[in-house]
Structure 1
């Protein structure tokens, strides 16, 4: 019993020490480089290295808070991407509160799995993601059209005047066919911009999984499948 109690006290002390180190690193960053706004500092599995977040990006720094590294931390013994795992836990969205009425809905197969995508029609990485999304089966995709580029505003609004916005979106992204409608109609383009700001989606593409995990970038279909498996979705 005493051995067990001693082990528990030691574990608590180590945890508190690690937390104190993380607080020290955060304080150093705030003092030395206040403009960087690096948050969520915490110890990693690698001794002396701490992770933090700048917007949607994970960065790493040492105990002296003098250098920043951006990239993936891979655990060699099992090839696990610890950076992706960290992003999944930090970037969370309340899926149930997403305004799906403002998205273009596309159902493939049984539509059981779900994704929400933020995409700009003139974003090359968004077009790349569309190619990957087309490889997925049994999925419902909600696309929130995000007109970040000035030249994207008009076609984004025109999409919602089409008889089949999902087909019009597909033609626009895969074939470069502009929406044919010349009339004006109600559209969610402005609301989507406000939603993106609220969710800290500052660029495109962004992918939100149905458990609320938010990732930025054009992930390959195989990687999305792997993430679904890891998340149990």
Structure 2
């Protein structure tokens, strides 16, 4: 039973199906104790929702999904799975958060649009990440497969790192696409003074999605693929989503 539970949790079972049902879960009327607990821990509790478990609430934070007792005394982090219905409720909650976040920052993405688009992926990327560079080297494969690639910045070293400064310069470049391609090829981005690109916001958004490394690929249903995947694999995933819709 333990192996089955872990397999379901890791596989993200039926996340898209459960998202519809999970969206019907109401917010908790009085959530001050829970929010106070998260404030003490340095976390921003954006929303507190009910769960199928008596006395346990779901908390959407700036660092992902947590669970807490209704009185704000106990806190735990993990994956909540409805074994009977084979639904990963945690992934469903995160999928909704990701869709909202991607929509919020759509105007600050660096986008490579496919001529015959059949789907889009949103990729959290870093310049120094080896697999991020590999994905970008294969950009034409994605575009030829009808996959538009839209990037958000995620400096793995944090907002005080050189990677953050480099991403800022890329996002502030006059030609963002060329700057990102050059940077992925190993060139140091040209410094742009008085740059106000929202890379810090991208980074914080990624953390709220549960991202800890790059590349992280968000599909159109809000599900996430943590790591590099070739264009052929992403194409199959998009075809499956298009078939469902």
Give TM class, smaller chain.
0.5 to 0.7
Aligned-partner Cα distance in 1 for 2:46–2:86: 26
Q: 1:133-144 to 2 correspondence within 5 Å?
A: 137-144=145-152
Task: Note closer, same or farther for the CA distance 1:59–1:94 as it changes in structure 2 (3 Å cut).
Answer: closer
CA-based RMSD: 4.7
Matching of residue 150 in structure 1 with residue 161 in structure 2: yes
Task: Note closer, same or farther for the CA distance 1:61–1:200 as it changes in structure 2 (3 Å cut).
Answer: same
Equivalence for 1:69: 76
Equivalence for 2:61: 54
Please state how far the C-alpha of 1:140 moved relative to its aligned partner.
Answer: 0.5
SS in 2 for 1:93: helix
Deviates further, 138-147 or 199-208: 199-208
Aligned-partner Cα distance in 2 for 1:158–1:41: 37
SS in 2 for 1:121: coil
Aligned-partner Cα distance in 2 for 1:75–1:113: 30
Paired residues, number = 199
Q: 1:68-107 to 2 correspondence within 5 Å?
A: 68-91=75-98, 92-93=100-101, 95=103, 98-99=106-107, 103-105=110-112, 107=114
Query: TM-score w.r.t. structure 1 length?
Result: 0.59
Equivalence for 1:225: 237
Task: Note closer, same or farther for the CA distance 1:72–1:230 as it changes in structure 2 (3 Å cut).
Answer: farther
Q: What stretches of structure 2 of length at least 5 have no aligned partner?
A: 1-24
SS in 2 for 1:64: coil
Q: 1:111-150 to 2 correspondence within 5 Å?
A: 111-123=117-129, 127=132, 130=135, 137-147=145-155, 148=159, 150=161
Please state how far the C-alpha of 1:154 moved relative to its aligned partner.
Answer: 3.9
Q: What stretches of structure 1 of length at least 5 have no aligned partner?
A: 1-17
Aligned-partner Cα distance in 1 for 2:26–2:170: 52
- Please say if residues 36 and 72 of structure 2, whose CA atoms lie closer than 8 Å, have aligned partners that are also in contact: no
Please state how far the C-alpha of 1:53 moved relative to its aligned partner.
Answer: 1.7
Please state how far the C-alpha of 1:44 moved relative to its aligned partner.
Answer: 0.7
- Please say if residues 117 and 148 of structure 2, whose CA atoms lie closer than 8 Å, have aligned partners that are also in contact: yes
Aligned-partner Cα distance in 2 for 1:87–1:97: 17
Aligned-partner Cα distance in 2 for 1:193–1:30: 27
Task: Note closer, same or farther for the CA distance 1:228–1:86 as it changes in structure 2 (3 Å cut).
Answer: farther
The equivalent position to 1:110 in structure 2, one of 108, 112, 116, is 116
Query: TM-score w.r.t. structure 2 length?
Result: 0.56
- Please say if residues 111 and 177 of structure 2, whose CA atoms lie closer than 8 Å, have aligned partners that are also in contact: no
